């Protein structure tokens, strides 16, 4: 999906691997998978004045970080009023990017659901109501 480097959070210690690759730290972290409680540990690999952007729910409380130099933000979280409205508007006007991983017929909806809950999917799963 365009990333130059990735770290598989399911099989690798993200903080240790990031520290190995970048001993002086990184400027920013974009979190798309780790739960909020893991982000305090992850923030330790971010250089002074760096940024931590989060896209998981629930959003961590910015006050939980012991660093005043860290810019922390959460995007597309249902924790803020209006986020889902913004997502809906972007989906309707075509400006919300969507990577489709697999399409299913309605009759295969149960299979799509099992894939969704049992596997880490890449892209969105689409169940079409019509042929």
pLDDT for 27 equals 92
Tokens coding 46: 């971010």
Domains, the chain, in order of start with CATH, read 1-96 (3.40.50.720), 98-131 (no CATH)
pLDDT for 74 equals 72
More confident residue, 103 or 23: 23
Distance CA 8, CA 20 (A): 14
Per-residue model confidence as pLDDT tens digits over 37-90: 788 888 899 999 999 888 776 767 766 777 788 887 776 544 456 666 777 788
Phi-psi domain of 111 (left: phi exceeds 0; alpha: psi -120 through 50; beta: other): alpha
131 pLDDT above the threshold of 60 = no
Distance CA 123, CA 131 (A): 21
13 pLDDT above the threshold of 50 = yes
More confident residue, 57 or 6: 6
Region 102-124 average pLDDT: 82
Residues 6+ apart with CB under 8 A from 2: none
pLDDT for 78 equals 47
Per-residue model confidence as pLDDT tens digits over 16-40: 999 999 999 999 888 877 777 788 8
């Amino acid at each position: 999906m365009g990333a130059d480097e990735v770290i598989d959070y399911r099989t690798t210690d993200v903080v240790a691997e990031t520290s190995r690759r970048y001993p002086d730290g990184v400027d920013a972290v974009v979190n798309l998978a780790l739960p909020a409680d893991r982000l305090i540990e992850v923030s330790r690999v971010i250089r002074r004045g760096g940024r931590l952007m989060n896209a998981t729910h629930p959003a961590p409380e910015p006050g939980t970080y012991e660093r005043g130099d860290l810019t922390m933000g959460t995007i597309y979280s249902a924790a803020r009023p209006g986020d889902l409205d913004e997502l809906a508007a972007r989906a309707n006007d075509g400006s919300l990017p969507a990577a489709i991983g697999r399409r299913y017929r309605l009759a295969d909806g149960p299979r799509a659901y099992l894939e969704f809950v049992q596997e880490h999917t890449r892209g969105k799963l689409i169940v079409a109501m019509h042929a």
